[in-house]
Amino acid sequence: MPLSDNQPDDFPEIQPVSVPDHPVWPELTPEDKRRLEETIREMLESLNGVLVAHYYTHPDVQALAEKTGGCVADSLEMARFGTRHTAQTLVVAGVRFMGETAKILNPEKRVYMPDLAATCSLDEACPAEEFSRFCDLHPDHTVVVYANTSARVKARADWVVTSGIAAPLIEHLAAKGEKILWAPDRHLGRYLEMTTGADMLLWPGSCVVHEEFRSVALARVTRLHPDAAILVHPESPESVISQAHVVGSTTALIKAVSTMENKKFIVATDKGIFYKMRQAAPDKILIEAPTVGEGATCQACAECPWMGLNSLQSLTAGLENKTGEIRIDPLIRDQAVVPIRRMLQFAETLKKDDKD
């Protein structure tokens, strides 16, 4: 499948990623929930810790992060929050690259995750050695990687970006005439190429959750709800993105629900986001964008199976057994921190420009 008009012949072969079913956690009684929340709260206190959760995690986990003074955010804000907070321990509920980013930015803090098996198909689709070889073949390109990558891949990059900051950064680099080697999400890469006009080589990774949104079915749902605004995360295929009223990071999509005048929204991203969307705009109607549909695998359920490893139960077990500590080779850390800090500094510049 052609990814981009200028895709090179030396492109690496990527092994398919094996995707587990979305975990099913036993239903909690209100009493069970209260007891688990209390246990986690006590463990956080004893560790001088704070809970940093992503919008795609289980609503119970998001609610607990809010109640305990932690944060619920997109991957960019999770990284920022961890560096600003005074807690000595960061408990990251999300997927592994988020825990690794927290550790890379805060080597003096302990970072725990409920389950270290919480990977991401983008991270898995970009093995560090193949990636590094590919970079070596294109030394005239600036290497920009999505945050959804391993510490080793980040260590090979000039820049790290999240979906919240990718477009202005690529625009900035393109304006300086830089050619870009982008990895690993081909859909986000394609979107950036189209919107900024940048000259980009695209690594062929994809998000197994967003890739399942279907454009023909989306058009059908839109006909049923012509007054709805369509909100799409840019990890979705081009044919889905092209129907969107808003394309953006998880934070941007939540903001759209509360700021746009529409009463109805069709949402193409992980269902975990509905918790915050409902909180932000309780009177709005939220409709799930269609995926492959009936009889399809869990891959098509619009719930990331790896984000699904975060629950009150796994948080409790992970903290009790201390099995989920993130450790990073210091040499890799020293290299990976450079492009991540560049991203955070660039984000600060953008904020300042917005205020001026």
Q: Characterise 69 by phi-psi region: left (phi > 0), alpha (psi -120 to 50), beta (else).
A: left
CA 7 to chain CA centroid, Å, is 25
CB of 99 to ligand SF4, least distance (A): 12
DSSP states of 313-352: HHHHHHHHHT--B----HHHHHHHHHHHHHHHHHHHHHHH
CB of 138 to ligand 13P, least distance (A): 26
Which one of ligand 13P, ligand SF4, none interacts with residue 163, CB within 5 to 8 A by kind?
ligand 13P
Pick one of 89, 106, 148, 149: the residue that binds ligand 13P (CB under 6 A): 148
The C-alpha atoms of residue 14 and residue 29 are separated, in whole angstroms, by 44
Stretch that binds ligand SF4, among 77-85, 160-168, 170-178, 302-310 (CB under 6 A): 302-310
Q: Which residue has the tokens 């006590």?
A: 42
Residue 121 binds ligand SF4, judged by CB under 6 A: yes
Q: Phi then psi for 228, rounded to 5 degrees?
A: -85, 145
Q: Which is nearer to ligand 13P, 89 or 250 (CB)?
A: 250
Q: Phi then psi for 233, rounded to 5 degrees?
A: -80, 140
CB of 270 to ligand 13P, least distance (A): 6
**Of the candidates 350, 330, 353, which has an alpha carbon nearest to the alpha carbon of residue 342?**
350
What contacts 212, CB < 8 A, 6 or more positions away? 291, 292, 296, 299, 300, 302
The C-alpha atoms of residue 99 and residue 118 are separated, in whole angstroms, by 10
Stretch that binds ligand 13P, among 3-11, 133-141, 156-164, 319-327 (CB under 6 A): 156-164
Residue 208 binds ligand SF4, judged by CB under 6 A: yes
Provide the mask over 143-162, with x wherever binding to ligand SF4 is found by CB under 6 A and - wherever it is not. -----x--------------
CB of 106 to ligand 13P, least distance (A): 19
- Tell me which residues in 231-250 interact with ligand 13P (CB under 6 A): 233, 235, 249-250
Name the site residues for ligand SF4 (rule: CB under 6 A).
95, 120-122, 148, 207-209, 235, 270, 304, 306-307
Name the site residues for ligand 13P (rule: CB under 6 A).
74-76, 148, 162-164, 207, 233, 235, 249-250
